[in-house]
Amino acid sequence: MSKILVIDDDRSICESLELYLTEEGYECQTALTGTEGLNKFVQIQPDLVILDIRLPDIDGFTVLEEIREEDEDAKVIMITAFHDMDTTIRAMKAGAFDYIHKPINIDELEVSLQKALKTLETEKKIGGLLTESTHDYKVGDIIGATRAMRDIFKTIGVVSQSRATVLIQGESGTGKELIAKVIHNNTNRNEPYIAVNCSAIVETLLESELFGHEKGSFTGAIGRKLGKFELAGFGTVFLDEISEMSVNLQAKLLRVLQEMEFERVGGKERVKVRARIIAATNRDLKAMVKEGKFRDDLYYRLNIVTITIPPLRERREDIPVLVDFLIRKINKDLHKNIAGVSKEMMEIFLQYRWPGNVRELENLLVRASVISHGQVLGRVEFPDLLGGAQAEIAGEGAGTQTGTDATGRLLTLDEVEERHIRLVISKIGRNKGEICEALGISRPTLERKLDKYKISFE
């Protein structure tokens, strides 16, 4: 039987809640002042506290603070007659599990009680999880125990002994820059690491960013500026999204890689390149070469050592370890005390396709940790994921075969078509020719359907 303590200076509310809670099978005690409430909290160690903000001796926020000092995992539902935003925000920041306005809606209160008690029950089941983990990861570690990830670790170890050019391929969110930083740190961490996003800078400015310029070389060039290749010294230049570089600039980069020297924009002095170059892309460069969108000679210059990062859906065994690592990181960054995710959510994680890969996983865990009132992240903390996850799961498996979604609803013809197209893309990759062949449609038809269903390869 769960024990509930009600702290409210209104005797009629205390009596009404005591009667209701007792009839519902709870063990209930009441207190009319903050001091009395704190004493009873220490004596009876209730599972849950219903606390009024306005009390005659001390305010509810002080009581909440002292309860949390006594037990940081205590579940406290605050009640108040005031509807202002600041009070609500203050209560939630102070650690309240929930916040209910007067007059109390019994249905709302019961929902909050059930959520709090379920969270408490789950926390008790996994007590000690935070301290029992055998993993001891550091910030910047690459997490993975699958064969593909172990092979990547080996490649990093080998390439770190040289200064060879490296090409990192992988979908968005797989951690391409993290791998680039690990290579840099294991080669010469005392030298500069400079990252350039080739898709975020227009061509004319990107050339200046990479190679620098001389005074007066173009309008606005009021002085000499050193480019990233020069500033990097013996360090690393990381060229992210290399596939977005214009063909004209690709030719200039090729020359740099061949001769290991360049000229600043508007200059004649030849500057030696001493930095290691690491390039990354989320697109298939080989396919782009065939389509004439990327220079084949530059591709082969970049493709000295290639590291291909598998998407998260192809290394699902790593998900529990990643969740553990990311939650530890979140606890440190946000000063939280999250123990983990529920067994139910972990099952959903293991089935979900993760189109955004590790970045998506981390973002979801951060959001869930921010809004969570307990130590265990469950269904209530992932409202957006559940709808999307069920759709993705259904799209990969039974949903597309039976024509229903996760709830059993019959899919429309457009929904079935969209999910099948997404499934084919997930299996084949971004080669549109092969996708068209698998779907049995022409290239123009594919383009129309990609536009219709807002399917982007980016």
- Is the CB of residue 264 less than 8 Å from the CB of residue 227? yes
- Is the CB of residue 429 less than 8 Å from the CB of residue 401? no
pLDDT reported for residue 364: 92
Is 137's pLDDT higher than 70?
Answer: no
- In 257-398, DSSP assigns E strands to 261-263, 270-272, 276-281, 305-308, 340-341, 376-377
In a domain, 130, yes or no: no
Q: What is the CATH number of the domain that holds 260?
A: 3.40.50.300
What is the domain range of residue 99?
A: 3-125
- Is the CB of residue 122 less than 8 Å from the CB of residue 342? yes
Cα separation, 104 vs 279, whole angstroms: 60
Residue where a domain terminates, one of 283, 309, 335: 309
- In 147-235, DSSP assigns E strands to 166-169, 193-197, 212-213, 225-226
- 3-state percent breakdown (helix, strand, coil) of the chain, nearest 5: 50, 15, 35
- The CA angle 414-420-425, to the nearest 5 degrees, is 125
Residue where a domain terminates, one of 309, 331, 353: 309
In a domain, 395, yes or no: yes
Residue where a domain terminates, one of 260, 285, 309: 309
Mean per-residue pLDDT, 203-212:
83
Cα separation, 355 vs 337, whole angstroms: 28
Is 396's pLDDT higher than 60?
Answer: no
Q: What is the CATH number of the domain that holds 337?
A: 1.10.8.60
Cα separation, 17 vs 385, whole angstroms: 36
Tokens encoding 8:
């409210």
Mean pLDDT comparison of 77-86, 294-303, 433-442, highest-scoring range: 294-303
pLDDT digits (tens, 9 = 90+) for 325-339: 999 999 988 888 898
Closest CA to 79 of 14, 21, 1: 14
**Whether 92 and 152 share a structural domain:** no
**Whether 237 and 371 share a structural domain:** no
Q: Which of 107-111, 118-122, 323-327 has the least mean pLDDT? A: 118-122
pTM: 0.64
pLDDT reported for residue 157: 85
In a domain, 458, yes or no: no
In a domain, 137, yes or no: no
**Whether 441 and 330 share a structural domain:** yes
**Whether 298 and 323 share a structural domain:** no
8-state DSSP, 265: B
The label of the residue with tokens 């099952």 reads 347
Q: Is 192 helix (H, G, I), strand (E, B) or coil?
A: coil
User: Could you give the number of structural domains in the chain?
Assistant: 3
What CA–CA distances, in Å, run from 389 to 323, 365, 384, 447? Answer: 16, 14, 8, 26
